[in-house]
Structure 1
Amino acid sequence: MLHRLRFIPGRLLQSIPVALGVTLIVFFMAHLLPGNAAVALLGQRATPDSVAALSAQMGLDKPLLQQYLIFLGQLLLGNLGESLTYQSPVAGLVLQAIPVTLSLLLFALILALAISIPLAALAAFRPGGARDLGVRGFTLLGQGMPQFWLGIMLILLLAVTLRAFPVGGYGASITDHIYYLFLPSLTLGITMCPTIIRSLRSSMINVLESEYIGTAKSKGAYGARLFRGHVIRNAAIPTVSVVGVNLGFLVGGSLVIERVFALPGLGSLMINSIFTRDFPVIQGVTLFVALFVVVVGILTDIVYTLLDPRVDLSGAQQP
């Protein structure tokens, strides 16, 4: 089994040029934002002389290429620079916000799977029936709802009207974190469900029509036993890739949802930094998101390889 995971070092090496390309794009895209960080920091006190002095102090008066080389050199040393707004190391700000965002994404994935697996099973066991049509209608409805709109609707219904959940915030204890993260996680989870349901439904239908399912039924496997032992594992194999890809896209959605629910994660940090033209923080958050997508891709390959013995990404010949 372990020899089939020998592709991991190669994937890590392939991610190095990707990371360098990301640093280049992130740096220059951040500097294409309209406005000046020095003006944003000084506000009404900004004068041409004070803006020039602050720009020189922050190194913003240097050519962009020189600024990029300085940024890249600091990055190789593990230094993401210092925030222009918070006057503290960017690495500390990012590390402080990462647990919130990762908790949100993990909770959203758990809720998405908890909703998607039963609905996909209901649809797949009787294709074309009333339950199948209802599930497919739910996927169409869910795919058409913008994340921020769905979040606001859930706030109005479950937080404002029913008072079952808080409007926003993160809480202090682990129990509070789970309680406060439920609504934003549910928002992200619902928007992720349509893709997972469609993939699982299609895979389950193919599995249920296969010969080995008929053999399992002839041996007395029905209902939950048949589903757990034969259907779900084989149907989940193609869905793993779908989940991995969408989890990467889900990071972008989490940035907006964190703002809607006032969560102190990477999303709020990013949006506040954009408003204040805090280039080092923008770069630090974007680099982490890019790194997260690369790691999710590698983990997806690992899970896919472990689930399907026919797949061998290491390049070794199968006996």
Structure 2
Amino acid sequence: MEDREAAARTQSASTRAARLPRLLRAAGGGLARIVPVTLGVVVAVFFLLRMVPGDPAAMILGERATPQAISELRAKLGLDQPLWQQFLDFLGQVFTRFDTGNSLVTGASTRELVFERAPISLGIVGLAVVFAVLIAVPLALTAALRKDGIADHVIRVIPAVGMGMPLFWVGLLLILLFAVRLRWLPVGGVGDGPGEPLRSLVLPALAVAIGLAPPLIRSLRAQLIEVLSADFVTTLRAARVPRRTILVRHVLRGAAIPTIALLGVNTAYLIGGTLVVEKVFGINGIGTLLFQSIGSRDFPVVQGVALYCAVLVVIVTAVSSGLSALLDPRLRRGIGAGS
């Protein structure tokens, strides 16, 4: 008996040891894309911004600036250098200090400006993911359990309607309902009192979640229907396993793998939607900083926001890949490539 238990423990330990490299490869594959993606974003943003008409130095000094003052400011900011020299200097800043330089308007470091406002934007992103999951899972599960019924038909309409609604319009509707009419939540900005910062982020996050939930509902419903018709579910039912256990431990876990991957793919939409709704709700986050910098032709700040958002997208995609691999039953049983 003791020998069998020891053998079982040894086998379990070896299975866990074999599982770890696969999980690391799943997440590492996404993280390995950070450098090429970052480089691509840096190149695209650098050259696209300089194709926009207008002189940043003239915009900073205003309409009454003299040509001499504009020329002096251009020299101070390095804008009089050849384009290739500006690009090489910019690459050096990015890959040595992970910064895109100082703001042309305020003189502050781009990294400091972005990191100062990042907690607000990341808070909206996190809440939006939570709300999207809370919306998608019950609706998809209801539709799958009542396939081709009235509830299923009604829920299947939701993705088509939700994906056709602009985020700024959804945000305005939420303000009218929850802030103006019901007075449950603040209209805009971020409050300072106890619990006020979180209450201020609820409506923006809900607006982003409403745009994110439709593809999750569609994907999860399709996967749930497929898993519910699998042979192992029939076997579990015949064995009189409780229905809740079947749904939570087996059906939802198996169906969630593609949906988690889809959530990672939609990270770019999620972050982009967050930047838009910040403007609607008057929240001083990264989105507001981006729009202000675009209006003033503040190259370093726009490039910095694009850079950090691109890196965040790659990291979240890598995490979702690792989580999908962790939930994969083939990986948990040690079945897969190389086993």
- Give the TM-score taking structure 2 as reference length: 0.89
Once the two structures are TM-superposed, the CA of residue 173 in structure 1 deviates from its matched residue by 5.5
Asked whether 1:294 is paired with 2:314, we answer: yes
Structure 2 residue ranges without an equivalent (≥5)? 1-18
The question of whether the paired residues in 1 share the 8 Å contact of 2:265 and 2:317 is answered with yes
Q: 2:173: which partner in 1?
A: 153
Q: 1:3: which partner in 2?
A: 21
Once the two structures are TM-superposed, the CA of residue 188 in structure 1 deviates from its matched residue by 0.4
* Amino acid aligned to 1:77: T
Change (3 A) 1:84 1:5: same
User: Counterparts of 1:102 and 1:180 in 2: how far apart (Å)?
Assistant: 14
Once the two structures are TM-superposed, the CA of residue 273 in structure 1 deviates from its matched residue by 0.2
User: Counterparts of 1:309 and 1:48 in 2: how far apart (Å)?
Assistant: 68
1:57 to 56, 71, 76: 76
Asked whether 1:24 is paired with 2:24, we answer: no
* Amino acid aligned to 2:63: Q
The question of whether the paired residues in 2 share the 8 Å contact of 1:237 and 1:304 is answered with yes
User: Counterparts of 2:193 and 2:301 in 1: how far apart (Å)?
Assistant: 27
Once the two structures are TM-superposed, the CA of residue 211 in structure 1 deviates from its matched residue by 0.8
Deviations 1:85-119 (A, max 9, x none): 12211110011111111110010000000011000
Asked whether 1:37 is paired with 2:61, we answer: no
Change (3 A) 1:174 1:220: farther
User: Counterparts of 2:275 and 2:44 in 1: how far apart (Å)?
Assistant: 19
Structure 1 residue ranges without an equivalent (≥5)? none
1:216 to 223, 236, 246: 236
User: Counterparts of 1:310 and 1:35 in 2: how far apart (Å)?
Assistant: 57
The question of whether the paired residues in 2 share the 8 Å contact of 1:248 and 1:296 is answered with no
The CA RMSD measured in Å over matched residues stands at 1.7
Q: 2:14: which partner in 1?
A: none
Deviations 1:42-69 (A, max 9, x none): 1233232222221111111112111111
User: Counterparts of 1:85 and 1:309 in 2: how far apart (Å)?
Assistant: 54
User: Counterparts of 1:149 and 1:88 in 2: how far apart (Å)?
Assistant: 34
Q: 2:212: which partner in 1?
A: 192
User: Counterparts of 1:211 and 1:227 in 2: how far apart (Å)?
Assistant: 14
Change (3 A) 1:82 1:170: same
Change (3 A) 1:34 1:310: farther
**What pairs with 1:122-201 in structure 2 (closer than 5 Å)?**
122-172=142-192, 175-201=195-221
Q: 2:265: which partner in 1?
A: 245
User: Counterparts of 1:294 and 1:77 in 2: how far apart (Å)?
Assistant: 20
Q: 2:85: which partner in 1?
A: 66
Once the two structures are TM-superposed, the CA of residue 174 in structure 1 deviates from its matched residue by 6.7
**What pairs with 1:278-293 in structure 2 (closer than 5 Å)?**
278-293=298-313
* Amino acid aligned to 1:33: V
Once the two structures are TM-superposed, the CA of residue 228 in structure 1 deviates from its matched residue by 1.0
Deviations 1:228-250 (A, max 9, x none): 12211011011111111112221
The question of whether the paired residues in 1 share the 8 Å contact of 2:191 and 2:200 is answered with yes
Which 10-residue stretch deviates more, 218-227 or 142-151?
A: 218-227
Deviations 1:118-161 (A, max 9, x none): 00011000111000011112221111101111111111121112
